Each structure stands twice: as C-alpha cells, then as structure tokens.
A and B are shown apart, each in its own frame.
Chain A
C-alpha cells in the first residue's frame, strides 16, 4: 500500500511534468488543446490518477488530494498562460500584415454648390431676424418688373438690348424686386420677406457677367419703418455675414423704386491686399410711387403711402460668393467643374 502511495505521488508529479512540457512545446491552439486533453481531458492522465483517489488510504487522501489539486492548478494555469501567449502571438502575426499607411478606402463624398451654401447662410441670418421666404415667377410682365417699380416706360433697362423679352410681351425678370410687388399684392402690412432667386440681363457672359444670375431681395413694410430700421437691419446682417467687426457704409445712390436710395459697401481684406471698401448691396426706402402702384393693382388702400413706409434691399449672390471665397471668374459658378465644387464639400 505504501508503495502504491509513493508510486501515485510519483505518478502525479510525472503527469504534471509531462503535461507542462507538452504545454510549453505546443506551438498552436491545436497542440495546446491536445496537451489539455492528454492531461485534463476525460481520458487524460491526471483525470485517470484522480479516479485512483478512491483507493488511497483515508489517512493519505489529504496529502494525495492536495498533490492532485496542485497539479491541476498548475497545469490549468500553464494552459491559460500558454493560450494567452499563443493568442497574443497570433494577434501580433495578424497585425503585422496590416499597413496603416496604405491609402484610405473610398466613401463617396459630394457637396453643395457654393451659391447654395452662401444663399443658405444669408437666408438663415435673415430668417433669424424675422424675415420669411417669398418667391415669384421668373417669366414676368412689365407691370411687376417695371411699371409698379416706378420705372419709366423709356428707361434704358426696358429695352430688347438689355432685357430678354418674349413674343408674348412678357420678359425674364431683370431683378427679384418684382417679388416685392407680388407679395404686396397678396398680403398686408406688416410684411417682412426675403426672396432669393434668378434674374436675367442680356449681358454677354464673361469673367464678371452672367446672363442669368442670382439676387437676394428683401422687403419690410409696416407703419413707422424708417431709415434707422434699414440701417440697423442691414448692418446686423452684413456683420453676421462678414464678421462682427466689419465696417459698413451707406453711399447715397439712385434706384427708381426706392427713395432715398443707398449702395452699401463693406470694408474687407481681399487676400494679399490692404482692406478696401467693396460694394455689396443696394437698398432704400420704398418709393411712395411703388405703394401707389400696388394700391391700384389691389384696388384698395392697404399700402397707402401716407400710412405705411418700408425699406427694400437687394444683393447679388454671385458677387457675395466671389467676395467670400476670392473667386476671380464668375464663370466658375456655372461650369460645375468637380475640381472647383470639391473645395466646398
């Protein structure tokens, strides 16, 4: 019995050593698993020895049991350690194949047209200031484009050389100001609208002219709208657009449909040049003759110039875009060259 006891103790140590050697020698997960099965598996050597516990004398059970447990613990620990080592080695091998400096894969990128981006920004500012969007037809009649806007019948703009006419006598609107008239015909004061849209002039296309271009029109009509409102609104708008420190100045000018009228300059630094005054918009107090024309068209006195006043403004969106991004040739805005568009994505 004693001999058996010693032999069992030896067996345990032998099995343990064999197992540890096999684990240590395992080079992959399969070899490691074989080592596990050979020692701890159902038919494994240590499992077989554990079966022998029932034959161990009672007084020795404690010692043998402890030996068996110690062997199991040690083998298990070695297996885990080896497993971890193998996984880490596999990870290292897998990572070694990855070159993070190779070019990125492709996800499609597109972008909005700069005129859209600019219009959204400008419109966004004005909407925060309480203006709602408006629009009107681009194929206009002379009443909405000229007559109602106090433009005399023989004004230079009303000429087949400068304006696109149709055989029907209609024309392509030469400015978005026609929307002012259309909105006043259908609404009553207070009226606060902005109308971005296309306007047309019979200009040859070159680096500074397009025959079809975009304007942003604005109109505010109410009782007691005054020059301070015009000035405050447009200063706030332009400072929001060009930066809070932007200097803004109003130069008296002439437009048939506003009086007094002004052109607005902002002082901007064009890349590589000293800051200079750049014209960005026209504006003025709505001429009473415009209100009269609207009243006649409406057949009521809702816009009686003795009761309401208003201011209007307009600006060229291409021009603003060219200023904003230093675009030198206006044609870039209609050519849609991806190399250009990509820069705004």
Chain B
C-alpha cells in the first residue's frame, strides 16, 4: 500500500520524526516498509544562486566558467555545461557537501584545470520530476541563498506491506491510528455528520444477504462533474493514482483516507430499483478497466430491475453506469460485502482492485456509514448538488468483534515476566481496546483480528518489542531419532564418495516427460506409477522423479558442455512413485545414484589414465561397503546396457548399468556413461549393522595359483559360484588376477580365454601342511572341472 507522509501528517502528529524513525517504529510493530521514495528537494545545501557572469572555458568548447551569487557575500566560481540560461538568471546551486538524489555528493573540483566550487543544477538533478534539459530557471525572483527545498513541495511515499491479518491499516487514517498508539499520542477522533437513513427495500432488492449483509445508497442530484481541485488531485497523485473526475476522485480519496471502498453510479444509467443477486452462469460483465469478464454462477453482482450487471460487488464498477462528465445525479454506494465472496470472485477472474483488496480482508463495519458521510460531505463541497431524501439501507452491519479475556497468568508466562500488567493494559488501551472489567476487553470494530487471548498477547508482544524480553536457553538431552541415525550414515557415505573423487549434485525433483527415458527406478515402473503434478509450471517440471539418474545425466550434460571430461557425480534423495498401476498410495523412498564417465584422471606429464569401465563403477560399491561381499548379477534394464543387479547377501540393493550407446552419442558423451542407482534404505541397513570384530589370524596362509581355459563368453560370476559351491572350508579367499585372450588365435584359441585365480588356504588353529593344502586345492579345481568343464594350463 502506498502512503503519503504529507497526507498521513494530517491525522497524526509526526513533527520531529525522521523518515528513518518512522520506518523503525513501524518495522518493529510488524508493519514492513518495503520502499521509501522522496519527492522534492531534500538537501539544505541546494540554494538559490544568481548567475553574475559566464565566460567561455579556456580548455573546453562546451563549458562555461560562471561566477554566481549564492548569498554568501562573495561570488562562487562554477564550471557549467548548460546552454539554456542568461546572465542574471536564478538557478539551483548545489554547494559542496550537497547530496543529490542520484547518490552523488558535490565537492570542490577542477574541470579541465579550472576550479569549480559546486554545481548548477537541472530540475531532475535535484529530485524534481521535470525532465527539461539544462538548468532549472527559478521563477518569481527568490532571494539568493534561499534553500531551494522551500520553493517546492516535498513529500515522502512509503510503500507499506500490510500483513493479511491487519486490514485496519489499509488507509491513511488506519495507519495514523496505529502510529498514535505506537507514539503514545492521544487518539484524535474525527467528527462526521450523522447520515439519516431509511429502510430501503423499495429501492434495493437484496437476493444475496449472506454475500452482502449490508448495503446503502444515497442519491445526490445536481452535481457538476469536472476536474478535481488541485489539493485532491495532489493527494491521489502522491500515492500513484490517476485523477479522473471529482466524483470518482472523492470515492478513491475516501477509500485511501478511511479504508472503506465506495462506488458512485450515474443514476441516469440505472433502472428504478437496484438488484443484488448472484450472477448467472457465463453472464457477461464489462468492467471499468475496459475488459469483459464471464462470471460464474453465484458471483455477487449489483444489477437493476432491467437485469444488466452494473458492478461486480466489491471488485469493480461497470463501464456503462460509471460517472462521466455528463452525469448530474449519482447514487453513492457504501456496503459491507462478505470477504470470502469477494475473494473468490476476485481470484476466479484474476481481477483485483483497491476495493477488492480491502473487502476480501474485511472492512470495519462501523466505518461503512461514516465513509459515506465523509464522501457526501466532499461531494457537496466540491461537486455541489444536494442529497435527495434519506440514505436507503438494507440489511444489518455484522458484529465482527466482541469481548476477549486477557489471561494475565499466561501473558506473564509467555512474556517471561518482562512486562507489567499496567503496561500491557496501556498498550491495549492505546490500540483502542476498552477494559470492561475483570480483564475483559472490548475490541473495536476495526480490529476483527482480535478474537482470542493469544491475539491480545500478540498485540502486547508486538508493541512491547522482543528486545525487551529476556533470552533463555534450555537445552536438554533428546534421544537420537531414526532420522538422526539415517542422516549420520548418509553423511558418512557422502564423505566416502567425495573422498574417491565424486561431487555431490542436488537437482530439482521435478523432471520432464522427456527425461523419463533416463529413469532407472529400482523397481521398473508400470503404467500409472509415475507421479505427475496436475498443473505443471512448464513441461520441464511435470513429473516427480522416480529415479535420481535423469537429474545426474542432465548434470553431466551441462558439465560436458563446459568441457569437463571426467564426470563423477552422485546425488542422494527422495524418489517418488505410485503403488502398482496408479493406485492412490504414493511411495516416497530414498536412493543414492552415481554417475561415472570418462578418464579416471586427467592426462598429465606422468600418466595417461584409462577411461572408466564397468569395473570402475563396481569399485565404487566396494568403496561404499568396505569388507562386504558384493555380487553383480547380470540383469538387463530397458533403455540401458550391461545391467547388473547389485546383490549383498540375499538382498538386491540396486543396479549398475551403462547408458545406451545411442543415447550417449545423442547427449554428446565421449565415453561410456556408467550409472548406479542404489536403495539408500538398504545401504543404511548394511552400514548401520554393528559388526563384531574378527580375530586376526594366528597362523600363516598359503596361496596357490591356477590358470584355466574357459569359453571366452563365460562370465567370471559362474567361476565364482562354482568355487563357492565346492564348499572347501580351508579356502580363505580367492581372486582373479589375470585374464588373457588372443584375438589372433596364435597363443590361445580365439573362442577361449585364460583366466587365472589365486586361492588362499588357511586354518584358524594350525599351520597347514602341504598335503592338506594339496587336498583342499584339488577339491576346488575338481569342482571347477565338474561344474564348468574348465581345463587348466
């Protein structure tokens, strides 16, 4: 809301208060000032000066060296580039130290080696709105040395942000009331003539008493519609409104003065009876703003016996019944409309106005008739004419406020004993509440937000200020929750991944339909499993991610465009899906995804590193789960290649895949892109499990190597499984240490590969004898022969 400080000063004594003080005062009462705009000249150091002499600058064609009389007794030399003056003119002169609105502070300087002690100014340079080129020539022969600010009106425009619970502040008088309370000034009440009313059902038919509990119309005949007087125009312009004509300007003025929206109809354009009713479905309405609206059934409209919609109640008047230059008789409406009704209509039509803004927040019922009185007073004064008959009224003003009890003990508890009861009572009194005894407080009609004990406490806390409340710190032990434990494990995993060279990414959880091609959900999605928002902001953010991989691929893509060759990213976080074919249940779970692609290290003087392979991708899992036996079981995934389930014990904890090569080319990835999507919940379970310490071996182990010839296509996993199946208890561990193939077929048939393993045998209670090892080793090798038909080299 825009507030003019000059206007505000009409209702509250702000003498001696700087704008900064007012800003602080309101800010700490919960009323935020979003902007402060000064109009007019603010600096005292800008004075009237007369140009006594102007000669050509010796070193610059476009500059003149002037001698000016700024009322200092001696002349002042100033270099000036303007052309529009003559010697003898009086102009604004900024003396050294003057701060200009553009933030520049004037000093003494040399311009092209000629001394210049100040600046002769244009209007815009000193904060006046005119945009003329050249110096501002001051009319009316003001005395030299006079501060220019005294020659022009100045004002400060405050942009006030009013919270939705405080509609009473949405006017100059409302804000003045608050300031009086904060400044501990006596409230200056306003006397307005009482309006004579008559029951108006003959004039007004109200079919919607819920939406419009109270409606009044006053007829004024013989008005002269013309431009408003200067003072009225100035008030409206000062808060950014455009003057239209005296009648419309008066209704706008009263809205911003008192907070009650009013509307004036041209009586000639209205039938014999006003009709308040719900709109018919798709009924058309041409609003004052020039737009046509299609109404919903039930939108409250002001119509007449002829059926046309004259106004959208509380939101905007119609184009046909508005007051124009030819209007001679007006009907002034002042009403109370139901806030939620106005809000619904305004929102549905995306049409807001100063009027709807106030009605939907709730106007003061006891202000409806005084506002009409104020407007009528101004109309008679400015537009002439006379009131015909009494004001017609239907319905009753609602009682929105009542008596609220202040629970003194709880006030004291909540405030930490920082305010005395009498101080608290003083605050409530200044805010317009009345003590009706026994801590019962009558709330004024303009403060419908005060309904409960706690609402009174808020007022007291707000005005008292939290800086006067003591600080207390009571930390107590709180047991770790499951989320605490999970968070700690997640952080440990994040640090492990960072330590092996991965960057953590965080991507937006809403992805596009197009990105779904990259999704790698742990359980494949069926039709209807995807969670889509109903009204996405854009195609790019339409689906709640079922997998972290699309975000990581987008991340990698972006980095590739920046020339990054080695791509190592991970992300942890929620993924979303419906349960089995779009049934109502939403499932939120947490995943860890990892992307690896490109050289494992940058090319350097010392090395030319390899490009990441599936084995490097698998190594990440080993790093995350040190000491756990992890198996990679091939399982194809649509849209990816070389897929493997990641299995620990009998639990599948995730998948590792390579992106489809065609997709890699499409996205300009130069190297294979390896992806892991792992179930974070399962990873936490594995890592969170406490493991007993294993005894260190007391006796040495012995190793035996064996190289076997197998079909080139035989997966190593089958060899592993065959070795395990042998069930040799002395076999401590085994690992593959060499794979040899010969594409030329010279050393080894090309359909074969030689794969070499090292087996370690050990017993916990003794050093093994050679014969024992021989027996054990033979058992393992026999098992390999039997299961896979391998031959040994």
Binding site for B on A (CB under 8 A): 102-103, 105-106, 108-113, 115-116, 120, 123, 127-135, 137-139, 154, 156, 159-160, 164-168, 170, 172, 190, 192-193, 198, 200, 202-205, 210-212, 224, 226-229, 231-233, 235-236, 249-254, 259-262, 285, 287-288, 309, 333-339, 341-342, 345
CA–CA, A205 and B508, complex, Å: 11
| Cβ–Cβ < 8 Å partners of B681 in chain A | none
A228 touching B469 in the complex, CB below 8 Å, given contacts A154-B343, A251-B28: yes
B213, CB-defined interface residue at 8 Å: no
Q: Which of B166, B470, B533, B569 contacts A254 (CB 8 A)?
A: B166
- Which residue on A lies nearest to B584, using beta carbons? A168
Query: What is the chain A residue whose CB lies nearest that of B606?
Result: A105
On whether the beta carbons of A338 and B503 are closer than 8 Å, the reply is yes
| Contact yes or no, A259 B602, CB < 8 A | no
Q: Nearest chain-A residue to B569 (Cβ)? A: A336
Separation in Å of the A171 CB from the closest CB of chain B? 9
**Distance between A147 CB and nearest chain B CB, rounded to angstroms:** 16
The tally of residues in B whose CB lies under 8 Å from a CB in A reads 89
A229's nearest neighbour on chain B, judged by CB, is B472
Q: Which A residues are CB-close (under 8 A) to B29? A: 252
Closest 4 CB pairs of A and B: A108-B501, A252-B30, A254-B163, A232-B471
Q: Counting CB contacts under 8 A, is B737 at the interface?
A: no
Q: Are A165 and B535 in contact (CB under 8 A)?
A: yes
**Docked complex: B439-495 residues within 8 A CB-CB of A:** 452, 454-455, 457-458, 461-462, 466-467, 469-481, 483-484, 487, 491, 494-495
Smallest CB separation, B593 vs chain A (Å): 13
Hey, which chain A residues are within 8 Å of B466, CB to CB?
227, 231, 250, 252, 262
B contact residues around A132 at 8 Å (CB): 478-481, 483-484
Taking the closest CB of chain B, its distance from the CB of A42, in whole angstroms, is 38
Residue of B nearest to A214 (CB): B506
Residues of chain A lying within 8 A (CB to CB) of residue B495: 112
Proximity string of chain B (269-280) to chain A, C-beta cutoff 8 Å, 1 when within and 0 when not: 000000000000
Query: In whole Å, how far is A229's beta carbon from the nearest beta carbon of chain B?
Result: 5
Contact B467 A254 (CB under 8 A): no
- In the assembly, what is the distance between CA of A334 and CA of B571, in Å? 12
Most A CB atoms within 10 A — which of B473, B484, B507, B536? B473
Cα separation A36 to B572 with both chains bound (whole Å): 69
15 A-B pairs within 8 Å (CB atoms) are namely A103-B605, A110-B497, A113-B504, A120-B491, A137-B586, A139-B586, A211-B508, A228-B469, A231-B470, A254-B165, A254-B166, A333-B506, A336-B506, A336-B558, A341-B503
Given contacts A127-B484, A235-B471, A251-B27, contact A259 B506 (CB under 8 A): no
> In the complex, are the beta carbons of B509 and A212 less than 8 A apart?
yes
Specify which chain B residues have a CB less than 8 angstroms from the CB of A228 in the assembled complex.
Answer: 416, 418, 469-472
Report B63 CB to chain A, min CB distance, Å: 34
Q: Mark B408-426, 1 if CB is under 8 A from A, else 0.
A: 0000011110100000000
Interface centre among A123, A139, A167, A205, by most chain B C-beta atoms within 10 angstroms, is A139
Known: A106-B607, A198-B509. 11 other contacts (CB 8 A): A106-B602, A132-B481, A133-B484, A139-B531, A227-B416, A232-B472, A235-B471, A285-B414, A336-B558, A337-B558, A338-B503
> Is B507 touching A167 in the complex (CB atoms < 8 A)?
no
Which chain B residues lie closer than 8 Å to A190 at the CB level?
476
Residue B297 interfacial (CB < 8 Å): no
Q: How far is the CA of A311 from the CA of B483 in the complex (A)?
A: 21
Within the complex, which residue of A167, A226, A229, A335 is in contact with B558, where a contact is CB–CB below 8 Å? A335
Q: Complex: how many Å from CA A200 to CA B509?
A: 10
Q: A139 to B164, Cβ gap below 8 A?
A: no
* A170 contact from B558, B586, B602, Cβ within 8 A: B586
In the bound complex, residues from chain A placing their C-beta under 8 Å from that of B506 are 113, 115-116, 333-334, 336
A167 to B586, alpha carbons, bound, how many Å?
Answer: 12
* B15 interface residue (CB < 8 Å to A): no
A23 to B415 Cα, complex, angstroms: 96
Closest CB-CB distance, A137 to chain B, in whole Å? 6
- The answer, yes or no, to whether B568 is at the interface (CB within 8 Å) is yes
Q: B163 — nearest CB in chain A belongs to which residue?
A: A254
Least Cβ–Cβ distance between B499 and chain A, in angstroms: 7
**Is B500 close to A, CB under 8 A?**
yes
Contact B558 A253 (CB under 8 A): no
Q: A211-B508, A288-B454 are in contact. Are A108 and B475 (CB under 8 A)?
A: no
Instruction: List chain B residues, Cβ under 8 A from A341.
Output: 503-505
- Chain B positions within 8 Å of A342 at CB level: 503
Nearest-neighbour CB distance to chain A for B574, whole angstroms, equals 6
C-alpha gap A102/B606 in the complex (Å): 10
Given contacts A108-B568, A139-B544, contact A259 B483 (CB under 8 A): no
Using CB atoms, name the residue of chain A closest to B568.
A110
